[in-house]
Amino acid sequence: MHPVLQTVLGLGLIGVILLVVCRPLGTWLYRVFTDDKHWRVERLIYRTAGVNPDSEQRWTRYAVSVVAFGVASVAFLWLLILVQGWLPWSLGRSQNWHTALNTAISFTTNTNWQSYAGEVGAGHTVQMVGLTVQNFVSAATGIAVAIALVRGLARATAQAIGNFWVDLTRASLRVLLPIAVVGGILLMLGGVIQNLASPTVITTLTGGEQTIQGGPVASQEVIKLLGTNGGGFFNANSAHPFENPTAWTNLLEILLVLIIPFALTRTYGLMIGDRRQGRLVAIVMGTLFAGAALLTAWAETAAATLQTGSMEGKEQRFGIAWSVLFGTATTGTSTGAVNSMHESYSPLGGGLLMLNMMLGEVSPGGVGTGLYGILVMAIITVFLSGLMVGRTPELLGKTIGRREITYAALASIVMPALVLTFTAISLVLPTARDALLASGPHGLSEMLYAFTSASNNNGSAFAGLSADQPWLNLTLGLCMFVARFAIITFTLALAGSLAEQHRRPATAGTMPTHTPLFGVLLIGIIIVLAGLTFFPALALGPIAEALS
């Protein structure tokens, strides 16, 4: 079967499953964050932490809580990695200080960029106590911020947008943990390993030696995908048979990546009292995702001399279609997992995966980050559309004035500013250029992909870049931290500004934001802004390589 046709059928299968699953999950998320009651275990956590769960926070205090929690998480995880040699199940693994700092920032910011090979950089204790925990709470942080922005749109003349500690706790205990338990069991039934075994050295049939790694893989795998974190227990990531053994587990892992981002669109519609708005956001996300997958599948087929397409860098058990669907799902969200090597894609195929991230990862985006990212783009679209046609720039009865568009614009330019600035600086520094495997346009693509991945809190790698060196570890870490928390801060400021407003009734001059026309405008604005920002860089990298 032709890979493009396989991709179409795969998209259909994924779409049907998401329609079945995301409706009840979206409703559950709505109940979680509108429930007035606290579970007994939650009250115990609040008492231990000294938190009043019935007290809500202004946006400033909410933002301080998010950033402070992030800084504390980085410090704890950095220390844990540095002292892992004294911990049980360390297996003799270690990281130098700048690699450990990069790793700590990476997992705290929901990025999971790994400058180290998964098998040798972290022992089982660091995996379980450090990395897995951050996979939960970093994902929960994204959900909390998205819910705070939705509250800002839903409320009128309000000073508060919720309580971060309550939102964090509920997202972790009521949403992520139950799904992770079920998903982890399903992955183990599919063949993903889960043990505390030390590496085993075996003798092969040819007389050579091979080291077989063990570890708590399924428990790490499920939350890295469900929380759109990414990374890999093994260096080969989800191309490794211990992480992703079969076509069935491959489908499950793709679904784990997508279910919460799409389910949150229903939550959004329920919280604002207009399900049409949530459906439109889901359709826009789905259109961008499907379009990217089909274009990438076409690029991988058109670039090959064989009718079956290019299999370079791809697993035989997945083929082109399911490699492309996995790659599109993880670059369209903030998930750094891969089941094929993106550098081995055709120049246009690899460029399209890079473009998925450059859109701001809104197709459908990460857990929480996708929803608040596309709502920021919706606000920009409302403002620009209002200017073009002379209508009042409003979203859900809230006026998009100077303050609101300033916060939205600042949130949207943080990522491209980091990507282009640090890519340019790194390409003129000999120490950074020495890390490139290739030269010319492909070398540019390697560096551009790395900073795009870091600044979008994605974490996937283009390969070919030896990133474990002080300059790249520190600058990539800086991009991860600033992109994560600066965008969150501007988003929460936007939420606070919207919550303070009165809700204005719709008039003849109000642009409806639930119609197909607005959906087309939103898609257009997302693509045009990314194109205007990144086309020169893409033209010098993957496009130039394709034309050559």
Q: What is the DSSP string of 225-285?
A: HHTT----SSTTGGGSTTT--SHHHHHHHHHHHHHHHHHHHHHHHHHHT-HHHHHHHHHHH
State residue 387's pLDDT score: 81
Q: Which has the closest alpha carbon to 408: 510, 515, 525, 289?
A: 525
* Mean pLDDT, residues 463-479: 93
**Higher pLDDT pick, 423 / 93:** 423
Give me the pLDDT at residue 308, please.
57
Instruction: Tell whether the model's pLDDT for residue 462 goes beyond 80.
Output: yes
Helix 440-455 × helix 470-500 angle, to 10°: 50
User: What is the model's pLDDT at position 463?
Assistant: 80
Query: Strand runs (DSSP E) across 383-423, as ranges?
Result: 394-395, 398-399
What's the whole-number mean pLDDT along residues 484-510? 92
CB 523 within 8 A of CB 179: no
Q: Is it the case that residue 156 has pLDDT exceeding 60?
A: yes
H-helix or E-strand containing 212? strand 209-212
Range with lowest mean pLDDT among 92-101, 189-198, 232-241, 383-392: 383-392
∠ CA 125-135-49, nearest 5°, is 85
What are the tens digits of pLDDT across the range 70-81? 999 999 999 999
- Residue 448 pLDDT > 90: yes
Complete DSSP assignment for 55-109: ----HHHHHHHHHHHHHHHHHHHHHHHHTGGGSTT-TT----HHHHHHHHHHHHT
Cβ density class 349-385: b for 16+ within 10 Å, e for less: bbbbbbbbbbbbbbbbbbbbbbbbbbbbbbbbbbbbb
Nearest to 491 by CA among 32, 4, 66, 174: 66
* Confidence at residue 171, expressed as pLDDT on a 0 to 100 scale: 98
pLDDT attached to residue 232: 86
Mean pLDDT taken over the chain: 93
Tokens representing residue 344 in the block? 């081995």
Give per-residue burial for 230-247: e unless 16+ CB within 10 Å, then b: bbbbbebbbbbbbbbbee
CB 443, CB 436: distance < 8 Å: yes
Which amino acid, one-letter code, is at 89?
Answer: W
Angle between helices 319-332 and 3-34 (to 10 degrees): 30
pLDDT for the residue numbered 312? 84
- Residues 60-69 have a mean pLDDT of 98
Ramachandran region of residue 515, left (φ > 0), alpha (ψ -120 to 50) or beta? beta
* Structural domain spans, the chain: 366-547
Q: Mean per-residue pLDDT for 304-318?
A: 75
The answer to whether the CB of 275 falls within 8 A of the CB of 320 is no
For residue range 187-206, what is the model confidence (pLDDT) as tens digits? 999 999 999 888 888 888 88
pLDDT band at residue 253, thresholds of 50, 70 and 90? very high
Q: Residue 8: is its pLDDT beyond 70?
A: yes
Q: pLDDT (tens digit, 9 = 90+) per residue, 340-362?
A: 999 999 999 999 999 999 999 89
pLDDT at position 194 is: 94
- The three-state DSSP-derived secondary structure of 319-357 is HHHHHHHHHHHHHHCCCCCCCECHHHCCHHHHHHHHHHH
Provide the pLDDT for residue 306.
55
The model's pTM: 0.95
Tens-place pLDDT, residues 105-154: 999 999 999 998 878 889 999 999 999 999 999 999 999 999 999 999 99
